[in-house]
Amino acid sequence: MTMTTMGPDAARDPNAATRRLQRQDRVFFWLAWGSATLVVVVLLGILFSLVWESIPAVRTFGLSFLWTERWSPAKEIFGALAPIYGTIVTSVIAMVIAIPLSFGIAIFLTEICPKPLRRPIGTAIELLAGIPSIIYGLWGFFVLAPLMQQFVQPFLIDVLGPLPIVGALFSGAPYGIGMLTAGLVLAIMILPFITSVTRDVFQTVPVMLRESAYGMGMTTWEVMRHIVIPYTRLGLVGGVMLGLGRALGETMAVTFVIGNAHRVKASLMAPGTTISASIANEFAEASGKLYSASLVELGLILFVISFTVLALAKWLIGRTESY
Amino acid sequence: MSFIKTIVAGTAAAAFTLGMAATAQADISGAGSSFIYPVFAKWGEAYNKATGVKLNYQSIGSGGGIKQVTAKTVTFGASDKPLDDATLAKQGMTQFPMISGGIVMMYNIDGVKPGQLVLDGKTVEKIYMGDITKWNDPAIKALNKDVTLPNEPIVVVHRSDGSGTTFNFTNYLSKISKDWDDQVGSDTAVEWPTGLGAKGSEGVANMVKQTKGAIGYNEYAYVIQNKLGYSKMINKDGKVVSPSLETFASAAANADWKGAKNFHVIITDQPGEKSWPIAASTWVIIHKDPKDPKAAAAALKFFDWAYKNGKPEAKALDYVAIPDNVVKLIEASWSDIKADGKPVYAGN
């Protein structure tokens, strides 16, 4: 019995056919295994190279890198506070605007929307997700920013600026671009992601529960408030986190409209920067070991933040599904 | 079957001949400064017509050009910031200026026409420091008695990416003000005390164009193309000058190229009645002991051609050719670029 029992022999020998299938299966098994392992290897490889490349910066600045505001390539002093702050503030603005909007859209689509309109509106929102981020950037820069400078920001500065505490957020000159504009563009970008997850989890609510609630005479608002939202709570948080993960890492669109200034300012109108925008702006021309290492360390920080947010999102979504 | 064979053989032969042709006339490879790119593009085209040799120049920014030439992946690099003597010595490289041009303050103020505003170094420094924040500040008014300036905030615009233009601009401010030199310094990217960052020369031009009350610095060509407001400047001799080829050339001509090692002269704030205060140059950086002497010789031959024949193209794009007496010094310095103890390019 040798390997020559292929072809017509195999038909005569059922054992050979079985062995051939077994061999096939083993190859398939290892290919699948290999593909899966490759992803993990790539992930670890990226993490390792980020750590490795950022060693000079970590050695020089230590942990104080995280709370130093100065970013001076000329004097070789680097701190990540401004980009971390900008990343978080723009993402928070985006979430504050996008969460209520997305929930509204999802509730409308699942509960209120007339059947014939459901698909066109749903598709329009999904199409938003397909627009490349550079287009959002161009639109933000050429259309939204001038509108912000001439109308929205002067209004906010005049009306909210004089108020105590809140006023600090809306003070300064209207530049048009800045953290508020970046947050707005981000909100539009993450809207479709949160909406589609929210809509999907709303649909997991058993029809029986929902119908009995309506049957008891509950209004749509009461059904949402007391049945649907409590039932899908964790899934909703997961969807929100997914949107947050995207907002944190968005690069091109933000680079266009944030103003790219390494400063921490209380005012939302002020120009700032984010981690990804700093890297995109500066990496190509970063001369000197410490400068590139600091940019890579920024990348490492973003990796850790996004990874944590996404892991948390997955975990929460997973928990709703097991209900 | 034989038909297919013929085609395959024919294609292979053609590919082979093409390959041979390509090796016989090697392309000149370079990378770096985007400031000089429009000129290199024009020169490359004309040189290709004249000699059949192609110039393959990647406009990836000065920093990238320095990295690539240091790693010897290209024959020459181009940078708007000269390397210091120690770095050149350590890497065994040399540098020489290829072209000069001007950096201009551009603005977008309602009711103020291009060329109407006059600024001086001190005022520009105070605006970029964040000390002057309104267009009707007494310091700006004093320089512009006939111009009605609005009571509007000044929106300061700078480059957000590393840039040779930024290096020359901040170098000028450092020469003007000790405060600037101590607190900010000069480099391809600095810690800006105020303002908005825009990516690339086009980014700055667009930002100024659509932001009311904005001021920015940019290469002269971008200001002309975008039909934006630009200011006159008061130069080192205290004279008001307009940006033009003539004033850029005066700055380049008055610089002390002869006394500087490795042609390390930044031509900002140069003396001379007609000198434009924020002029800039681009340097070519090349290895003294080239990996491929033939490629280095081809590159030097191209530079020689460009110094001698490239002036009209440079002028058409608003760049200033290096003065003839400086070209002589540069070409004399090429004798240091050697292979087997002999200069790779003897000149003609």
Percentages helix, strand, coil for chain B (3-state, rounded to 5) are 45, 20, 35
pLDDT exceeds 70 at position A301: yes
Residue A52 burial (CB count, 10 A): 10
pLDDT at position B19: 42
pLDDT at position A9: 53
pLDDT at position B47: 94
Q: Is the C-alpha dihedral spanning A270, A276, A280, A282 positive or negative?
A: positive
- Specify the DSSP element, H or E, that contains B313: helix B311-316
Cα Rg of chain A (Å, integer): 26
Joined tokens for residue B305: 């051609």
Is the ipTM higher than 0.90? The answer is: no
pLDDT tens-place string over residues B100-146: 999 999 999 988 999 999 999 999 999 999 999 999 999 999 999 99
Q: Is the C-alpha dihedral spanning B233, B235, B237, B241 positive or negative?
A: negative
Contact status, residue A301 vs residue A86, Cβ threshold 8 Å: no
Asked if B60's CB is within 8 angstroms of A271's CB, the reply is no
Asked if B63's CB is within 8 angstroms of A287's CB, the reply is yes
The whole-angstrom separation of Cα B188 and Cα B71 is: 20
Asked if B197's CB is within 8 angstroms of A259's CB, the reply is yes
Q: Which residues of B touch A144 (CB under 8 A)?
A: none
pLDDT exceeds 80 at position A285: no
Residues 6 or more apart in contact with residue B169 via CB below 8 angstroms:
B103, B217, B278
Contact status, residue B185 vs residue B174, Cβ threshold 8 Å: yes
3-state secondary structure chain A: CCCCCCCHHHHHCHHHHHHHHHHHHHHHHHHHHHHHHHHHHHHHHHHHHHHHHHHHHHHHHHHHHHHCCCEECCCCEECCHHHHHHHHHHHHHHHHHHHHHHHHHHHHHHHHCCHHHHHHHHHHHHHHHHCCHHHHHHHHHHHHHHHHHHHHHHHHHHHCCCCCCHHHHHCCCCCCCCHHHHHHHHHHHHHHHHHHHHHHHHCCCCHHHHHHHHHCCCCHHHHHHHHHHHHHHHHHHHHHHHHHHHHHHCCHHHHHHCCCCCCCCCCCCCCCCCHHHHHHHHHHHCCCHHHHHHHHHHHHHHHHHHHHHHHHHHHHHHHHHCC
β-strands B338-339, B232-234 pairing: unpaired
Asked if A175's CB is within 8 angstroms of B160's CB, the reply is no
Joined tokens for residue B56: 């393959």
Partners of B103 in the β-ladder:
B219
Determine the distance in angstroms separating the CA of B98 from the nearest CA of chain A, rounded to an integer.
21
**How high does pLDDT run on average in chain B?**
88
Joined tokens for residue B160: 């957000």
pLDDT at position B304: 95
pTM, 2 dp: 0.82
> Closest by alpha carbon to A260, among B61, B192, B64?
B192
β-strands B55-58, B28-32 pairing: parallel
H helix count then E strand count, chain B = 14, 15
pLDDT at position B228: 87
Band of the pLDDT at A45, cuts 50, 70, 90?
very high
pLDDT at position B339: 86
**Residue range A31-60: average pLDDT?**
95
The whole-angstrom separation of Cα B175 and Cα B184 is: 12
> Closest by alpha carbon to B280, among B251, B323, B306, B244?
B251
pLDDT at position A319: 73
pLDDT exceeds 90 at position A51: yes
Residue A128 burial (CB count, 10 A): 15
Report how far apart, in Å, the C-alpha atoms of A75 and of each of A67, A310, B51, B90 are: 18, 36, 46, 22
Place of tokens 């950086």: B285
pLDDT exceeds 80 at position A131: yes
Contact status, residue B65 vs residue B32, Cβ threshold 8 Å: yes
Place of tokens 């109108």: A269
Q: Identify residue B282 by its one-letter amino acid code.
A: T
Asked if A260's CB is within 8 angstroms of B199's CB, the reply is yes
pLDDT exceeds 50 at position B16: no
pLDDT tens-place string over residues A269-282: 999 999 999 999 88
**Residue range B276-304: average pLDDT?**
94
Residues of A with CB under 8 A from a CB of B: 70-75, 77, 141-142, 145-146, 149-150, 173-178, 255, 259-262, 271, 273, 281-282, 284-287
Asked if B64's CB is within 8 angstroms of A281's CB, the reply is no
Q: Which residues of A touch B153 (CB under 8 A)?
A: 173-174
B92-125 burial string, b = 16+ CB within 10 Å, else e?
ebbbbbbbbbbbbbbbbbeebeeebbbbbbebbb
Q: Is the C-alpha dihedral spanning B312, B313, B315, B316 positive or negative?
A: positive
Least reliable range by pLDDT among A35-49, A114-128, B97-111, B136-150: A114-128
pLDDT at position A318: 74
**Residue range A106-135: average pLDDT?**
90
pLDDT tens-place string over residues B206-260: 999 989 999 999 989 888 888 889 999 999 999 999 999 999 999 998 888 888 8
pLDDT tens-place string over residues B133-182: 999 999 999 999 999 999 989 999 999 988 889 999 999 999 999 999 99
Asked if B61's CB is within 8 angstroms of A285's CB, the reply is yes
Determine the distance in angstroms separating the CA of B63 from the nearest CA of chain A, rounded to an integer.
5
Cα Rg of chain B (Å, integer): 23
pLDDT tens-place string over residues A200-214: 899 899 999 999 999
Q: Which residues of B touch A261 (CB under 8 A)?
A: 192, 194-197
The whole-angstrom separation of Cα B244 and Cα B251 is: 11
pLDDT exceeds 90 at position B11: no
Q: Identify residue B252 by its one-letter amino acid code.
A: A
pLDDT at position B12: 46
Residue A269 burial (CB count, 10 A): 26
Q: Which residues of A touch B58 (CB under 8 A)?
A: none
Beta strand extents in chain B (DSSP E only): 28-32, 55-58, 76-79, 93-108, 118-120, 155-159, 196-198, 214-219, 229-230, 232-234, 240-241, 279-287, 320-321, 338-339, 342-343
Band of the pLDDT at B5, cuts 50, 70, 90?
very low
- Specify the DSSP element, H or E, that contains B72: none
Considering only the beta carbons, identify the residue of A70, A173, A262 that sits closest to B153.
A173
pLDDT tens-place string over residues A224-283: 999 999 888 888 988 899 899 999 999 999 999 999 999 999 999 999 999 999 999 888
Considering only the beta carbons, identify the residue of A176, A177, A284 that sits closest to B60.
A284
**Residue range B314-329: average pLDDT?**
90
Contact status, residue A244 vs residue A65, Cβ threshold 8 Å: no
**Residue range B258-274: average pLDDT?**
91
